[in-house]
Amino acid sequence: MGWMADETGLDKCAANFVPLTPLSGLNRAKEIFGEHPAVVYGAHRKTYAEYHARCSQLASALTGAGIRSGDVVATLMPNIPAQAEAHFGVPACGAVLNTINTRLDLETVAYILGHGEARIVLADTQFINLAEAAVARQDTPPLLIEVPDEAAGFPATGRHTTYEDFIAKGDPDFVWVMPQDEWESIALNYTSGTTGRPKGVVYHHRGAYLNAMGQVISWRLVLHPRYLTIVPLFHCNGWCHTWMMPMIGGTVVCCRDITAKAIFDAIADEKVTHFGGAPIVLNALVNAPEQDRRAFDHIVEVFTAGAPPAPATLAKIEPMGFNITQVYGLTETYGPATECYWKSEWDDLDENARAAKKARQGVAMPFMERITVVESNMDEIPRDGVAQGEIVFRGNGVMKGYLKNPDATAEAFKGGYFHSGDIALHHPDGHMQIADRAKDIIISGGENISSVEVEGVLMGHPDVLLAAVVAKPDEKWGEVPCAFIEAKPGTAPTEADLIAFCRETLAGFKTPKKVVFRELPKTSTGKIQKFELRRLAASL
């Protein structure tokens, strides 16, 4: 018997065990960084002491309005200070935060409010009509609190209690309701629902804490970063970055409208050092007109995810002063869960080779136990950079499950891993690289074609702003690649130009057989909605 076999008296107790929660970060920041700027938005400038007091007032006011532990409080807001405050104020009264995508249609917003059983909704004035219509469809309508933004041109309508009036009733010294169990739910996020009803993904305090802390390591963060909110706070809770910032005394710089000009202004005027965003954001910066650009003299660290960034985009943006790290995850993994870990031996590669390495999804972040690529029988695929399988996740950064949907939860967790639905190859150095979403692979005459590969080639054309490739039904081949292109302003590439350009680097069967020039449909986070394009391709 080992000498540690007798552990009498070595139990968990109040002194040695506290449930993990991101709420602890803001409690600590109030004490340590009290006078440091916490949240900035135009004239709105709050220190950590003020930020904590406002979050406490929100928690207190919600309690006064009858919110109890486990109740859901929903928000319908862009990236403004009230949305950041809700990330602490809502769980600080024991409630669960449900941030709703502001670009969803009425039917979906009404479904989410009903499915999540929200008791209160905080809605920005820009979206108040949508909120009112969705609330009106509920059997037990939640209380609606209006969040006006006068500076952005959205003054209060006068139809509802405003956010400032609501929190004014709250106590800035309200004692926070901390979780008794770190498995308690902190947030409810609905998947984008491109197929059928969106699913309610439930986060716990432990996962939110560990994801926020783990990204500090992956992003090589030190004290007092200045973080720009490009990723919507309704998308995986802004990749947990709002919960992360108090841990390192960071300043959250709110960005309501995501434009190249707004981003350049924030970097130049607010000295922004970090932001996350989809490749479409990088593209906007690369192609910004001269009058929207600003000079800055520091390197801006960027996490990019949502789709593999085109090597051509990466090659252009890095010399502008941005260091890009490709990360990857899903709503079900609290946002980013893998990182493209840069190796020093890649430093001297040429521009294109560097960009190709940076386009990988990479390796597991520190808070994940294991992320790997498997065949349908759960055997790991060879790490040869050729074989393909599905990316699966195991660890503390995986959701609790889908709300009120045990069948979908069991299906997602079969074999002891969370199944992503993303198809990837595994390089010998351990880096994973997405080949495609399972549903985006094009099978032409029995050959698998990666839409990502074809898009990467098209994005290298000097006249192409954005490219998306989907399967178009074909009598002879079953499916053929169809490209949808947004051309750069002032250019007029033709279908023949682009097909010939692709033929220079791609096998004939991978070359698009049809090219359509049009604006691409996008989600709120800038992802291209391929299901819409597949529908269009089928009708061509």
pLDDT tens digits, residue range 305-314? 877 677 788 8
Please give the CATH topology (third level) of the domain spanning 211-438: Rossmann fold (3.40.50)
Per DSSP, the three-state class of 514 is strand
Residue 40: pLDDT over 70: yes
Split at pLDDT 50, 70, 90, the class of 196 is: low
CA distance 36 to 38: 6
pLDDT at 526: 77
Residue 464: pLDDT over 90: yes
pLDDT tens digits, residue range 484-523? 999 999 999 999 999 999 999 887 888 999 999 999 998 7
pLDDT tens digits, residue range 166-189? 999 999 999 999 999 999 999 999
Q: Give the mean pLDDT of the chain.
A: 94
pLDDT at 4: 77
Per DSSP, the three-state class of 261 is helix
Which stretches of 426-480 are DSSP H helices? 451-458
pLDDT at 33: 98
**Other CB atoms within 10 Å distance of the CB of residue 70:** 10
CA distance 15 to 271: 41
Q: Report the range of poorest mean pLDDT among 147-151, 241-245, 432-436.
A: 432-436
Average pLDDT over residues 209-226: 97
CATH 3.40.50.980-classified regions of the chain = 42-178
Look up the CATH architecture of domain 42-178.
Answer: 3-Layer(aba) Sandwich (3.40)
pLDDT tens digits, residue range 79-109? 999 999 999 999 999 999 999 999 888 888 9
pLDDT tens digits, residue range 315-363? 889 899 999 999 999 999 999 999 999 999 999 998 878 888 888 899 9
pLDDT at 356: 83
CB 209 within 8 A of CB 87: no
Please give the CATH topology (third level) of the domain spanning 441-539: GMP Synthetase; Chain A, domain 3 (3.30.300)
Strands 401-402 and 200-204 turn out to be antiparallel
Helix (H) or strand (E) holding 57: helix 48-64
CATH 3.40.50.12780-classified regions of the chain = 211-438
CATH 3.30.300.30-classified regions of the chain = 441-539
pTM equals 0.88
Residue (of 26, 72, 19, 68) closest to 179 by Cα position? 19
Q: Can you tell me which residue has the tokens 């005027």?
A: 269
Structure tokens at 409: 């939860």
